[in-house]
Amino acid sequence: MNTDTTHILTASAPRKIGALDLLTSSLSHFGAYMNEAHSFDDVKTDKFFFRSAFGFDDGKDFDMAEFNRFFTAKSAQHDITWELAEIGQKPRVVILVSKHDHCLNDLLYRYRTQQLKIEIPAIISNHPDLASLAEWHGIPYYHLPITADTKPEQERQMMAIIQEKNADLVVLARYMQVLSQDICQQLNGWAINIHHSLLPGFKGAKPYEQAFDKGVKLVGATAHYVTPDLDEGPIITQCVETVDHTYSTAGLTEKGRHIECQTLARALQYHIEKRIFVDQGKTIVFANA
């Protein structure tokens, strides 16, 4: 029996007896085999969350339109909000970047080797430095310089490109500009950012130099959804590793960049696999490991 995953069903609803049974029995009714299933009751918000990745025996057809009609009628009794997706549809990801290339390089490698099953229709930067890297991958590169005076126009140009490319997701791969409240609201729920997580927190220029001077023992990174509150959006995933007194500033920086790459790629994977729910400013993440 070959039941490779072909579809993903996600759902949320008020906590109510029978919601989970309805979801699983509906999939069974259509002959689906659940290769992966997760559910969670948030007692505090009184909500229920569900994700299933499923497939079918060889040769079996799945009529998505028929399932949509069937489950729309059934789900109303439990106030279920749901989405059915085919995994073969690659999301279109526009990447924003400045001069640091480590996260972009990592994403492009995973894209090239199909570890990340995405399309990248555009890379946008406020600097020209990484144009050759985009060109080597055959990806259009848009250099949009920015100053305090030109920021509103630059962001209008940026959103025009994002919309023109029919982007499903925007990723800030070390884009060293603070997005305006207006563009954050336009990108709400479909833009991911990465930043370092050093304890104690060090803001502003040269954070790793500050961390070195304080003798930090933990270096990490946080990936989160973009909101108007700088670096305070719903957290998708975090990674951390220990360091010690033998690390130089350069060593801390190298370690931090490595963790940033891992964390951003993991967050992107979770998003495109529809593993993330945002519930009143925090996330429920049905991780696969």
CB 83 within 8 A of CB 9: yes
**C-alpha torsion sign, points 122, 184, 255, 127:** positive
For residue 143, give every residue at least 6 positions away whose Cβ sits within 8 Å of its Cβ, in sequence order, or none: 125, 126, 127, 128, 131
Query: Would you report the helix, strand and coil content of the chain in percent, each value rounded to 5?
Result: 35, 30, 40
**C-alpha torsion sign, points 232, 276, 21, 288:** negative
- Mapped onto helix, strand or coil, the DSSP state of residue 275 is coil
The distance from CA 73 to its chain's CA centroid, rounded to whole angstroms, is 31
Give strand pairing partners of 83. Answer: 10
Rounded to whole angstroms, the Cα distance separating 169 from 154 reads 19
Q: What is the CA radius of gyration of the chain?
A: 21
- Mapped onto helix, strand or coil, the DSSP state of residue 238 is strand
Which residues are catalytic, by number? 231
Name the nearest CA neighbour of 192 among 220, 234, 159, 253: 234
